[in-house]
Structure 1
Amino acid sequence: MSYLPRSSSGSSVIISSIIIKPVRFPRVWCCTHTPINQTQTAMEQLDPSKSSQVVVPHPHLLHAKISSIRMAGHSKLQIIADFDATLTKYWVNGCRGQSSHGLLQQGNPEYDVKRRELYDYYHPLEISPSIPIEEKAKLMEEWWGKTHALLIEGGLTYDAITKSVANSMITFREGVVELFEFLEARDIPVLIFSAGLADVIEEVLRQKLHRSFKNIKIVSNRMIFDGDGHLVSFKGILLIAMFLVRSSFESGPIQTCPSSILFVASWVILTPGKTIHVLNKNEHALDMAGPLHDELGDSDGPNEDSASVKKRTNVLLLGDHIGDLGMSDGLDYETRISVGFL
């Protein structure tokens, strides 16, 4: 398993997993080398079979998928999105963009160095195509656990999070704000599924977007602070998915669009304190999803509850990592379009 290759000259998007029950269509891939930053008008006018920026081997399958979602209406649609390098940019001014973990500065240089050393050791293992997925999942759990322990031991405060975000170069992709507004106006829920840090993601949304959205919930690793604002622990999750992957790229890095990918989810109950990492994000964690904590003023109206969201059986899934394909596992969806950002 590997990350898809990225180019610093622009963005690429792959649309895959065209599934309409009870018929399963062949995989459809849609690639573009420049960002699509228009919102409703551009999305409605986009014809993948005619655009010079988009390549779709079987465009009629994509049109069938879109038609199915439109016929079902807004009330059946939900968005499931990764955060780092999906909603945010992978490249910013020619440099690697920051993640919600990577931007964090504890105010303690010794511990910042220790976390960087963990990254230098574990990241090559994360993207290695030769490590079995079961072993890699254990390594990711180990990495995240050590990193979170360093954040606690190093005395991280919420003030440090606020300052880190203010000093960061993390940037949203063009069109994200407009997309959020478009979805909120139509009461279409957005579930942000991230292996990063929920509190950091909330602060990024707060500082960069300057508003809250009533339709957005976050499933990520959430911190617990004491009365003085010092990090003391992390909230645990109850379920984790171990994804067994069989694909045409199993023996090496992806060179072309794979023809088939098989994910088998095996669910196990975990004790509190477990973490969300890049290989265990899944819809079963929806029950721990929380709305945005908005210090700028709460949005009007209640957030849609988990049971209602699960009844939305049409899914637009956004991610940048092969593991993100599992974010909708556990959801009994009828129609799904998966979009991978390069």
Structure 2
Amino acid sequence: MESDALLLTFCVFADILDNSKIISEECQNELKALLHHYYPIEIDPHRTIREKLPHMVEWWTKAHNLLCQQKIQKVQIAQVVRESNAMLREGYKTFFNTLYQNNIPLFIFSAGIGDILEEIIRQMKVFHPNIHIVSNYMDFDEDGFLQGFKGQLIHTYNKNSSVCENSGYFQQLQGKTNILLLGDSMGDLTMADGVPGVENILKIGFLNDKVEERRERYMDSYDIVLEKDETLDVVNGVLQHILPRGDWRETQGS
């Protein structure tokens, strides 16, 4: 099959803002405390998604409120990313460029902060016109200070059509029947829910944490499970297999 669209998730939050100079030490500690409290709930295999939902909303809401107290300026975002250790998975250039050159839409769902994720991709020089990001975007006041977040709150367990109704998401997927879905949580499995006319979905899961206790659920839910794989080698291999060989050769040569 030829891949018509690709959905994947990024979580860009703690590793950048939490460790940046624009966040006070007190705020960093509070954000880490939230992580230590709520993350075990997020990945708890014994709780249903319905049970986890209110905790995720509470976590994200508290974190966003803390950030809004920090007087973050819009002009600081690029510098924060530049000074961070933010990296995309090895093989990202081949991945992004292959999708772009083959006119495959790339939709990125992120429960992190869209402004930061977008800046990372831009600084890596792979922010192509085929990319569409659905995430929590910062809302700045007229003086350029963070005052809140735009639109509906996006957390781990609502990355699906419920947050895409006004994003032009469905219009861009009209006529797309094949989807390659990449995720690193159980919540990512619903990213293609609500997309009309889909015939084939290949789901690839990245299992990075608590591998032993979460392996069975991942194996039951994803078609391919990659354990502690920090690369896009397998994904690029899949693309090489399903895309026309001539197009792939052209991509590699660019």
TM-score with structure 2 setting the length? 0.74
Deviation (angstroms), 1:328: 0.5
Return the alpha-carbon distance in structure 2 between the equivalents of residues 341 and 133 of structure 1. 19
* Gap runs ≥5 in structure 1: 1-68, 85-98, 238-274, 291-304
Answer whether contact 1:205 1:211 (CA < 8 A) is retained.
yes
Answer whether contact 2:96 2:126 (CA < 8 A) is retained.
no
Return the alpha-carbon distance in structure 2 between the equivalents of residues 111 and 219 of structure 1. 26
Q: Within 5 A, what are the aligned runs for 1:204-223?
A: 204-207=120-123, 209-223=124-138
Answer whether contact 2:6 2:105 (CA < 8 A) is retained.
yes
Is 1:172 aligned to 2:88, yes or no? yes
Deviation (angstroms), 1:235: 1.1
Answer whether contact 1:107 1:160 (CA < 8 A) is retained.
no
Q: Bigger radius of gyration, 1 or 2?
A: 1
Return the alpha-carbon distance in structure 1 between the equivalents of residues 71 and 199 of structure 2. 46
> SS at the partner of 2:88?
coil
Return closer, same or farther for 1:217/1:308 CA change in 2, 3 Å cut-off: closer
Deviation (angstroms), 1:276: 0.6
Is 1:191 aligned to 2:55, yes or no? no
> SS at the partner of 1:148?
helix
Is 1:111 aligned to 2:23, yes or no? no
Q: Which amino acid aligns with 1:128?
A: D
> SS at the partner of 1:205?
helix
* Gap runs ≥5 in structure 2: 208-254
Return the alpha-carbon distance in structure 1 between the equivalents of residues 122 and 178 of structure 2. 28
Return the alpha-carbon distance in structure 2 between the equivalents of residues 144 and 288 of structure 1. 21
> Which residue does the alignment assign to 1:29?
none
Q: Which amino acid aligns with 2:203?
A: S
Return the alpha-carbon distance in structure 2 between the equivalents of residues 328 and 211 of structure 1. 23
Could you report, residue by residue, the CA deviation over 1:218-252 in whole angstroms, capped at 9, with x for unpaired residues? 00011111232210111123xxxxxxxxxxxxxxx
Q: Which amino acid aligns with 2:85?
A: M
Return the alpha-carbon distance in structure 1 between the equivalents of residues 49 and 201 of structure 2. 24
Identity %: 38
Q: Which amino acid aligns with 1:154?
A: Q
Return closer, same or farther for 1:308/1:218 CA change in 2, 3 Å cut-off: closer
The structure richer in helix per residue is 2
> SS at the partner of 1:149?
helix
Q: Which amino acid aligns with 1:175?
A: G
Answer whether contact 1:284 1:331 (CA < 8 A) is retained.
no
Size of the alignment, in residue pairs? 203
Q: Within 5 A, what are the aligned runs for 1:245-264?
A: none
Is 1:279 aligned to 2:157, yes or no? yes
Answer whether contact 1:101 1:197 (CA < 8 A) is retained.
no
Deviation (angstroms), 1:154: 2.0
> Which residue does the alignment assign to 2:8?
81
Q: Which amino acid aligns with 1:81?
A: L
> SS at the partner of 2:16?
coil
Answer whether contact 2:170 2:195 (CA < 8 A) is retained.
no
Return closer, same or farther for 1:110/1:159 CA change in 2, 3 Å cut-off: farther
> Which residue does the alignment assign to 1:324?
188
